[in-house]
Amino acid sequence: MSSRLSGNEAVAYAMKQINPDVMGAFPITPSTEIPEYFAQYAANGEVDTEFVTVESEHSSMSVCIAAQAAGARSVCATSSCGLALMYELLYVAASCRLPIALACVNRALSGPININNDHSDSMGARDSGWIQIYAENNQEAYDNFLMAMPIGEHLSVRLPVMTCMDGFITSHAVENIELLETEAVRRFIGEYNPENYLLKKENPLAVGPYDVSPYYMEHKVLEAEAMKAAKTRILEVAADFEKISGRRYGLFEEYRMEDAELALVLIGSSAGTAKAAVDKLREAGVKAGLVKIRVFRPFPGEELARALAGTRAVAVMDKSEGFSASGGPLFAETRSALYDLQERPYMINIVYGLGGRDVKTEDIEKVFARLAAIAATGEVGPLYTHMGQRSREEIA
Amino acid sequence: MSFITGRKFINQEALPHMWCQGCGNGTVLSALARTFEQLKYTNEDTVVVTGIGCWGKADDYLTTNALHVTHGRALPFATGIKAAKPELHVVALMGDGDGTTIGGNHFIHSARRNIDITAIIVNNLNYGMTGGQFSATTPHDAITATTAFGNPERPFDVCALAEAAGANYVARTTIYNGRLLRSSIKDALTKKGFSLVEVISPCPTQFGRRNKINPAVEMLRSLRDKAVTKDVFDKLSAEEKDNHILIGSLVNKDAADFNTRYEEIRSKALQK
């Protein structure tokens, strides 16, 4: 069924269709609307969810962890400092193998305080053991949230899932969207029936106790194996989802990459802008292409290397700084993924869009112009730059 | 004859402020600036610490040193300042969401520690800035964005909490009671030890609209009619008490503050 929804409402609607057992709710811009919409559904009796209004994000994630450990499906939404306040609990959720679904509406992480979009919040949590799936638009935000539970709850995975969308750009803009029928959603996600849970009569369980050195590492390896297994599961779920929705998803989206010589790699809503720039350049005869990363955790390294193997120059665009002094996190991982290729493309890193700094099609065209020059001359120039600064001479 | 205006403590370039019409924040800011002037505070010896929220924006409009920190954490930051520089006047400005909900733990521990900080909590009964969600002071049954058909929980009595935790000075007022507001802020600033002034303030945009108390002037009238001093309050029935606001100085004592006790321990340790 067709509708017009903001990204936040689309995710709240997905939650309503899922009808989770518990939601831990605490407001933070720009994700606030998600628990607000959901509060209405709960108050109207449209869902059976225990809607728990707590005093901080630390508590909202604690509520979800406890509920999930007791065998209840739990959901949550947050942004920026809220995600940061959950930090210790993100690791607890993942290591206890509790497949909570969290909608992260990406916003710059303080400081200075800023409420607008970049990816510094979720990128900060990239090593917490959560699966991370990013959306380009409202449709993907909705679809990704529906896929979160079948991915995370599967026996081979049992990890929490963070679905991310760009704050304001995606969360607040209203777009056309195709919604599934609630019955179809319920059939797709099925019931959550974990083998073990708190208060199970036959098998009393302790969740989260101290793990001694002779066993701790084995548990972390199991967690790491689960993250590896998640890649297969994500693709299985995507295939099942295509059957009911007609929409196809992979680990990333390749846009006009068939014969691309110059390529961008980026995450999120900027892909829409980049696609417009790619189309324009293609019309002018430039073999431009785009890889939009959808799944960042697990990182699709081998697949990405194959996708970029035929290119001559690649710009990885990071919407978070990372402060590694050698480029953003997406650059580090993409560059590492390409190391085993026999012939590697030239690669540069461009950090852009921090704290809501706009990126336009002309900006993307400048990046491609730089890539064209690099491919032609073999001169890479500065490896890692920041785009669109008001105070510096422009390097794309 | 000169009047106390507090003008030199207000950053004129930042005006007009961003608060909604009918919000009480401007009234409290004005009272604070005037009291700073009255007490001959200077920009150099005064530090204002704020967290996140509408009232947390108050530092934008002040010319004193200001530290704008994360949500709920004004008091631990203020504690660091006071512990390191006891000679400074340290003032923490918080809302009910910031000070008693996400930061509630810091609130009770600052009062327990009795550190010489003046906390001014502007209580508008909900999270105003994020769109009017429930907070720890939202009355039972009240409508907020996250309690669409009424709040099932009970609110904190912020003053009782501070008293039980050990604060030296506790007062409650409303923005309607302007003289009490000024005198309470003055008493709190001059009291050594942890001082709290809770100011009940209208949020017409979020709380008033949802709970059908509007226009804003109705919220002010309601504060005027509900606010009573202890002698009147004590004679009310339990039911009537629920519908009134006890105002005035509620705690005023002189227990040793954190820095004093810390110096005692330090000098003992040095003598050994």
Neighbours of B8 (CB within 10 A): 12
In a domain, A310, yes or no: yes
Q: What is the pLDDT of residues B174-232, one digit of tens each?
A: 999 999 999 999 999 999 999 999 999 999 999 999 999 988 999 999 999 999 999 99
**A220 and A259, same domain (yes or no):** no
Q: Do A35 and B146 touch (CB under 8 A)?
A: yes
**A238 and A256, same domain (yes or no):** no
In a domain, A353, yes or no: yes
- Write b or e for each residue in B138-170: b if 16 or more Cβ atoms lie within 10 A of its Cβ, otherwise e: bbeebbbbbbbeebeeebbebbebbbebbbbbb
**Cβ contacts of A110 on chain B, cutoff 8 Å:** 70
**Cβ contacts of B68 on chain A, cutoff 8 Å:** 113
In a domain, A395, yes or no: no
* Residue with tokens 């790699």, as numbered in its chain: A265
- Dist CA A302 CA A317 (whole Å): 19
- Dist CA B93 CA B74 (whole Å): 7
Q: Do A27 and B68 touch (CB under 8 A)?
A: no
**A264 and A287, same domain (yes or no):** yes
Q: What is the ipTM metric for this complex?
A: 0.83
* Residue with tokens 């309607």, as numbered in its chain: B176
Domain boundary among A245, A264, A293: A245
- Name the closest residue on chain B to residue A58, using Cα atoms: B102
Closest alpha carbon to A230 in A337, A121, A153: A153
In a domain, A192, yes or no: yes
Q: Mind giving me the DSSP string for B168-237? A: SEEEEEETT-HHHHHHHHHHHHHSSS-EEEEEE---IIIIIHHTT--SHHHHHHHHHHHEE-HHHHTTS-
In a domain, A392, yes or no: no
Output the pLDDT for position A394.
Answer: 60
Contact A142, A89 (CB under 8 A): no
User: Given phi > 0 = left and psi -120 to 50 = alpha, else beta, which region is B189?
Assistant: alpha
In a domain, A394, yes or no: no
Which of A29, A39, A44 faces B146 most closely, judged by CB atoms? A39
The answer on pLDDT for B2 being more than 90 is no
Q: Do B130 and A29 touch (CB under 8 A)?
A: yes
Sign of CA dihedral B177, B182, B183, B187: positive
**A179 and A35, same domain (yes or no):** yes
- Name the closest residue on chain B to residue A29, using Cα atoms: B130
Q: Do A81 and B70 touch (CB under 8 A)?
A: yes
CATH of the domain at A272: 3.40.50.920
**Cβ contacts of B126 on chain A, cutoff 8 Å:** none
Which of B102, B129, B145 faces A39 most closely, judged by CB atoms? B145
A83 contacts chain B (CB < 8 A): no
In a domain, A391, yes or no: no
**Cβ contacts of A113 on chain B, cutoff 8 Å:** 52, 68
Which of B71, B129, B153 faces A81 most closely, judged by CB atoms? B71
**A140 and A232, same domain (yes or no):** yes
**A15 and A154, same domain (yes or no):** yes
H or E element in which residue A244 lies: helix A213-245
Measure the CA dihedral B79/B128/A89/B50, to 10°: -20
- Name the closest residue on chain B to residue A35, using Cα atoms: B146
| Substitution target from A26, A79, A105 for chain B, most B beta carbons within 10 A | A26
- Rg, C-alpha atoms of chain A: 21
State how far the alpha carbon of B88 is from the alpha carbons of A90, B40, B45, B121, in Å: 39, 13, 5, 20
Domain boundary among A203, A227, A245: A245
| Substitution target from A36, A50, A83, A105 for chain B, most B beta carbons within 10 A | A36
**A187 and A303, same domain (yes or no):** no
Output the pLDDT for position A388.
Answer: 86
Q: Which residues have C-beta within 8 Å of that of residue B30, sequence separation ≥ 6?
A: B6
Sign of CA dihedral A85, A86, A89, A95: negative
Output the pLDDT for position A111.
Answer: 86
Residue ranges and CATH numbers for the domains of chain B are 7-271 (3.40.50.970)
**A222 and A106, same domain (yes or no):** yes
**A193 and A258, same domain (yes or no):** no
For residue A30, report the phi and psi dihedrals to the nearest 5 degrees. Answer: -100, 15
The residue ranges of chain A whose pLDDT is under 70 are 392-396
pTM of the model: 0.91
- As a whole number of Å, the end-to-end CA separation of chain A is 42
CATH of the domain at A241: 3.40.50.970
* Chain A nearest C-alpha distance from B20 (Å): 18
**A229 and A294, same domain (yes or no):** no
Task: Write out the two tokens for B83.
Answer: 């512990």
Give the full edge-to-edge strand order of the sheet including B248-252: B65-68, B46-50, B89-95, B118-123, B195-200, B169-174, B248-252
**A240 and A269, same domain (yes or no):** no
Output the pLDDT for position A392.
Answer: 66
| Substitution target from B57, B70, B130, B158 for chain A, most A beta carbons within 10 A | B130
Q: Do A53 and B70 touch (CB under 8 A)?
A: no
| Substitution target from A46, A55, A63, A80 for chain B, most B beta carbons within 10 A | A55
**Residues from B in contact with A at Cβ < 8 Å:** 52, 68, 70-72, 101-102, 104, 127, 129-131, 133-134, 136, 145-149, 153
A29 contacts chain B (CB < 8 A): yes
Domain boundary among A229, A245, A261: A245
Task: Write out the two tokens for A294.
Answer: 């959808």
Closest alpha carbon to B244 in B139, B94, B119, B147: B139
| The one-letter amino acid at A181 | E
- Dist CA A325 CA A41 (whole Å): 46
**A352 and A235, same domain (yes or no):** no
- Name the closest residue on chain B to residue A26, using Cα atoms: B133
Split into its structural domains, chain A has a count of 2
In a domain, A95, yes or no: yes
Q: What is the 3-state secondary structure (H, E, C) of B141-168?
A: CCCECCECCCCCCCCCCHHHHHHHHCCC
Q: Which residues have C-beta within 8 Å of that of residue B267, sequence separation ≥ 6?
A: none
What is the domain extent for residue A336?
252-386
- Write b or e for each residue in A203-239: b if 16 or more Cβ atoms lie within 10 A of its Cβ, otherwise e: eeeebeeeeeeeeeeeeeeebeebbebbbebbbebbe
